[in-house]
Structure 1
Amino acid sequence: METVILAVVIAVVVLGALGGLIVGTRRRKSLPPPPPKAPDITAPPAEPHVGEEAETPRDEPRRTIEEVDLPGGPPVVVEEPPAPVEAPEIEIPEPTAGRLVRLRTRLSRSQNALGKGLLTLLSREHLDEDTWEEIEDTLLTADVGVQPTQELVEGLRQRVKVLGTRTPAELRGLLREELLKLVGTEADRTVKTEPADRKPGIVMVVGVNGTGKTTTTGKLARVLVADGRSVVLGAADTFRAAAADQLQTWGERVGAYTVRGPEGGDPASVAFDAVKEGKEMGVDVVLIDTAGRLHTKTGLMDELGKVKRVVEKHAPLDEVLLVLDATTGQNGLVQARVFAEVVDITGIVLTKLDGTAKGGIVVAVQRELGVPVKLIGLGEGADDLAPFEPEAFVDALIGD
């Protein structure tokens, strides 16, 4: 019995020792740190300690406010002020006096074949019927027209018969005189822009799109500015995309103001506003660029007739210039007939005359319409529109 009691006591002592060992081991382990206290937002901020403001700056570059992603929305974008728009530099156009003489080389380069061909044929020792037929063919190929060709050949035959022997100089003089007679030297070729009783002069420019009509209007503004006139442009070709932009660009280059309307708008309204603006500004000339759609003669007549009527509520038109592409030859005459039936053409502008050897179109179109060629275009340059001078033109045809 005592032995049993002793064994129990020993077991209790051993268990107690083991329990104390375990508890002691647990107490020796470090406890986790307590969670940080939430800042007291009601407490005043702590006073900075000495030296905290003078903290050594970091090496990494500082970000600007534009580079920092701010919470609650997209980053703030600081817009730079727009660059000032510079006014286009005003150009001083080349004087128009003698401009065709300066462009004579360009004209003679394309037209010389006509003059040389005629002089070569006339220089033959025997001018038989075959030779005169060749002369006729040369003139017809150059688009002089049937009736003017017959007149020229008949005049040459009479003069050659009287002259007898023919030196090159005599032949050149003979041909020059007959061609001048055909082209005409008596017609008044000035562009009417200065009515005596009022201001401004009003010029309407008509023609098929593609003939260089809008470009010619812009170049005509340069011609007028070069002659000391002030100009307002009316962009009444509202049906062709960018026509108003093109005309305005031409105007800005010489300081001419452009009146324009919405694309596809009423051309007559734009023309009316242009004349009204020109009167208020006191300018010398208003140039009106019209639409050139040739879909039907009736539609064209209605459109141009309305423009003309509306403009004449201010004042009568001083000029109606028809722009024709010289390279189209006889097709240009067909266009000329249609426009002549629609409006009263007072003058012709022949463009791209340097791009064709058919300079005889000058004679043919004058005969067809009964009005003079007043201006000719001899290139793509801004100052390549020149007043038509018959003597310089004929001299370019026959060469030196």
Structure 2
Amino acid sequence: MLLWCVIPQLEGRFAVLNWRQMVPSRASLTGQPDRSGIQPSAVVNGQYPAIPATPRPTVTPKAGFRRRRTVMSPRSRIASLGLAATLLWTMASAPATAAGGSIIPLYPKGSVAPLGVPESQTKLKAGPTLIFNVSEPTLELFRPAPGRANGTAMIVAPGGGFVGLEYDAGGTDIARRLAQQGITALVLKYRTIQSSGDPMQMPEAHLKEMDTLMARVKTGLPVEMPPFAGEPHAVEDGVRAMAIVRQHAQEWGIDPKRVGVIGFSAGAYLAADLAIGDKASRPDFVVLLYGGLRTPVPADASPAFIAAAADDPFQPNDAVQLFTAWRKAGVAAELHVYAHGGHGFDLKPNGATSDHWFDELLWWMRSRGLMSPAKK
């Protein structure tokens, strides 16, 4: 998910159609005029992970938030209406057999420059929960039932354009499904850029990014999207998360050489950045769902499972580009391009072959020995 706007259509369907008549009110999105704040995260066992914090650059708040109804360009408005269809559907909830909720701060309190506005969340009516203005990133731990853990761990990076996070459908629901399969899952609540905290208002920086993205759909240029405004800090958080998970491998019953990252949309950009980044923080494998191209790909990049839909209106070619870049570098990769699914199909059923991506991911993981109990 790169942007959030929920446009309900007849019979529960959603589409990018006649956007001039389809701009919803904020009340229709949330069902209520006010947002509730998120409770501060607690430190696990009263302690922070024993990893030295690195200096953080000051985050300069992005000035200017424009109301999409009156000032957005047609390209940006269309992007807002269609990008990340994950918000255009209600997430199909998986049975929560795995307990979750252990919150692990990535950094000691006060070591990260705040955005200057409080973190907040918005629950869309009959839809997912969005978290905005994250400046205190965390991991939320979901462990398999006793006796079910296979030694593999996955960090889950939700989408949201680096402006917000779709924390349930692209985060905790995925983590619970993974834990049911014996995989220790951790949802990464990474830092975002400053926003109004209102799904009906987009930061100026993100509007410009959306203009570039939509122009790229038509022209194919730039071949690779420039870094998003919030991408560098999100990647820093991903690096930190990898270190924390590997540090706690013995405690959590994880093989430190079987730690992967699964990312959705913007989260897939983050996962790709880690896969081709510094070797010390590189995941052992990555899962990239409807994400974008990131290069250069080194010969020892993380093996990748790549999935997207051919009818993705915002990144129709990136999955193939990712696969091609991985293969040219001689790195193992598997590609699934589904005829239908749009942008943001995650776990919700939509009657298309994209409904089965999770099962195909498990087959890929089995073929790589990631589902068998780890050797002690």
TM over 0.5: no
Higher helix residue share: 1
Higher relative strand content: 2
Rg (Cα) greater in structure: 1
Give TM-score, length-normalised by structure 1: 0.27
Larger relative contact order, structure 1 or 2 (CA cutoff 8 Å, min sep 6): 1
